[in-house]
Structure 1
Amino acid sequence: MKTQAVMAAAFASTLVIANPAAAQDRSGWPESFTVGTASQGGTYFAYGSGWANYVAENLGVSGGAEITGGPMQNMALVHTGDLQFGLTTMGPARESKDGESPLAPGMKMDNVCAMFPMYETPFSVTALASSGIKSIADIPDDATIGFGPAGSTSDTYFPRMMEALGVNFERRNGSWSDLGGQLQDGLIDVVAFAAGIPIPAVSQLEVQTEVNIIGMNDAEAGKITDSFPVSEFIIPATTYQSLEEPSRVVSMWNFAMANCDMPESFVYEITKLTMEHNDKMVSIHKAARNSVPENYSKNNVLPWHPGAARWFNENGYEIDESMIKQ
């Protein structure tokens, strides 16, 4: 799968929050780092690019983001050490850790460690208002549905959810921005988004045309939460101009992760910077409102990196030693 690096160099002279370099233990720190995100037009890319630049600017280490296939590929790239950091969702993380990744069947990706909670990924459906599709039940047989990049969280789980709800469809993959364009041009019928809100591609789409953002009814939400590792989630009406009332969907948690061999002091400083300055993270993406220490307990899949665990334990968020990578 092709990737595209988006690097943003930053130097010690730009430090604005972190302690002076001389005050930090920088033993073994890399000269640069890269964060695995996902396709352009999605929340992972916006969040991950902004976070990478924020860390680089404040810790004086050159860093940036890389466009990838999303959570599954990020797990593989971080496990092998091709990337130092990445963003993942708990469902794909569990499958990858258990050796069930479709990208590398049988490979147990156990050299990936949790750093901090990001936000929940809602699974929502968008269609053009002109299509007349206002509910999942309205999706016609053999509709073409865009499920995002191949191997992404959406592509991994949303087709199964649609099948569970009795929807017959033709599958289409692509970046979120590309699929949004195809929807607007009438080349596909529906886009099944799984990304932190607001999703850039949806925000851009609704400015250009009228869309329906579709939630789930009681029966649909109940069936999906019973069958998949998700929970119910409410998209606030203020998220998109197209929503007149809150929309109920389902969601899955996301975490930032590190290769477990990254220096403890480096991961500690990154975790400290991120968790202690939520206002800066929210300025990168509104989904970061949930990137707060209290949500550390949402990780029940990945072992914690010792550097991240040290910050959480020092600040009253207890992580048992058995959950920390040794």
Structure 2
Amino acid sequence: MDRRYRWVMIVLLAALMTVGWGMGDRAEARKQFISIGTGGTGGVYYPYGGALAEIWTRYVKNVQAVAEVTGASVENVRLANKGETVVGEIMGDVAYEAYNGLGRFKGKPQKIAAMFMMYPNVYHVVALKGSGIHSLQDLKGKRVSVGSPGSGTEYMSNLVLHAVGVPYDSFDVRRLSFVENANALRDHTIDVGIWCVGPPTSSIMDLATTHDIMIVPFSDEDIQKVTGKVQYYSPSVVPGGVYKGVDQDVPTVSVWNVAICTRDLPEDLVYKLVKATFEHQDYLLKVYPGAKYTTPENAVKYSPIPFHPGAVKYFRELGLKVPEDKIAK
């Protein structure tokens, strides 16, 4: 669907929900429309966002939520900042730089706040077996998809690959979505596809059912270079056994995902959304096992940016300590 048309429909739907349907009780009829910026259909953001939409619509009175397909992290920040969506799923590195007006947001701090932490995203560098690619340095001169434009994967790829001495000008850069990555590897129109997702993710799983894949490992030196340069990246692994043919853990790096919202959402609304999320974590787990990391404790411990006051209210009710400098103003 054309993006401009889609947003017109969203605005109309929001207006209808505000006015109410028919002649029912006016207080019950007034609906708050919550649009959730997710990512492409081949990653985890979209089903996770769909689960959030289901929870909020079902358990938060007078809320109608929907998950929107987007270009992921960077686009979700910009959409939330402009009010075109009110909630976004983004990677922690993007959140930090967007909130503080750094990197691609230099001089333009974005009007966002944290709601809760979701789960860690693990950096996957995927090639087909027999490609001759065995290390990150082997990407030089190859056709490499670094992630779709506006995505957290592409954002992270720029930082990671530059840190390990494989800058964009050393290879043929492609910018494809996760599903496009898998199809292009099948068709041999790229040599490497990069995903930054919570494992396992469907597009890689599907690719592994028809082709022998490998996950390109980070050396110890690569990991030290990346984590030494970017404070919100951590050593990690792609666990062995989650993808067909990848039997051993593969060393890599990871970054936490954070659910953000526009900073001017009402405190009571954000409180109810956050409360419903944690009280119905079991539903998230049915959609994605990595939602086991979606806990209040992880939120307070790992958030790269300050929280919306509504989220702080819920965390403090649980007895968790949230410093004043971790509250968005």
Distance apart, 1:114 and its partner CA: 0.8
Deviations 1:78-134 (A, max 9, x none): 1222211111112111221232363x653211x211111101111121111132323
Partner residue, 2:118: 118
Equivalent residues in 2 for 1:19-168, closer than 5 Å: 30-60=31-61, 61-100=63-102, 102=104, 106-109=107-110, 111-139=111-139, 141-167=140-166, 168=170
Aligned residues of 1:85 and 1:259 also touching (Cα < 8 A): yes
TM, length-normalised to structure 1: 0.86
Q: What is the RMSD computed on CA atoms of the aligned residues? A: 2.6
CA distance 1:101–1:227, shift in 2 (3 Å): closer
The one of 187, 190, 200 equivalent to 1:188 is 190
Gaps of 5+ in 1: 10-25
Whether 1:286 and 2:289 are equivalent positions in the alignment is yes
Distance apart, 1:290 and its partner CA: 0.9
Hey, what's the Cα distance between the residues in 1 that align with 2:253 and 2:58? 35
CA distance 1:86–1:216, shift in 2 (3 Å): same
Partner residue, 1:12: none
Hey, what's the Cα distance between the residues in 2 that align with 1:90 and 1:312? 20
Aligned residues of 2:147 and 2:194 also touching (Cα < 8 A): yes
Deviates more, 1:35-44 or 1:314-323: 314-323
Distance apart, 1:251 and its partner CA: 0.8
Deviations 1:240-261 (A, max 9, x none): 2232111221111111111122
Gaps of 5+ in 2: 14-26
SS of residue in 2 equivalent to 1:194: strand
Distance apart, 1:321 and its partner CA: 3.0
Partner residue, 2:275: 272
Distance apart, 1:30 and its partner CA: 4.8
Deviations 1:5-31 (A, max 9, x none): 798x9xxxxxxxxxxxxxxxx99x853
Query: For residue 72 of structure 1, what is the amino acid of its counterpart?
Result: V
SS of residue in 2 equivalent to 1:117: strand
SS of residue in 2 equivalent to 1:130: coil
Distance apart, 1:299 and its partner CA: 4.0
CA distance 1:271–1:212, shift in 2 (3 Å): same
Partner residue, 2:318: 315
Residue correspondences, number: 307
Hey, what's the Cα distance between the residues in 1 that align with 2:34 and 2:208? 35
Aligned residues of 1:90 and 1:299 also touching (Cα < 8 A): no
Distance apart, 1:277 and its partner CA: 2.8
Aligned residues of 1:198 and 1:286 also touching (Cα < 8 A): no
Deviations 1:203-248 (A, max 9, x none): 1111121111222121111121112231101222232223211122
Query: For residue 48 of structure 1, what is the amino acid of its counterpart?
Result: G
Hey, what's the Cα distance between the residues in 2 that align with 1:54 and 1:239? 27
Hey, what's the Cα distance between the residues in 2 that align with 1:323 and 1:160? 26
Aligned residues of 2:116 and 2:303 also touching (Cα < 8 A): no
SS of residue in 2 equivalent to 1:265: helix
SS of residue in 1 equivalent to 2:130: helix
Hey, what's the Cα distance between the residues in 2 that align with 1:239 and 1:150? 27
Hey, what's the Cα distance between the residues in 1 that align with 2:180 and 2:174? 11
Aligned residues of 2:239 and 2:248 also touching (Cα < 8 A): yes
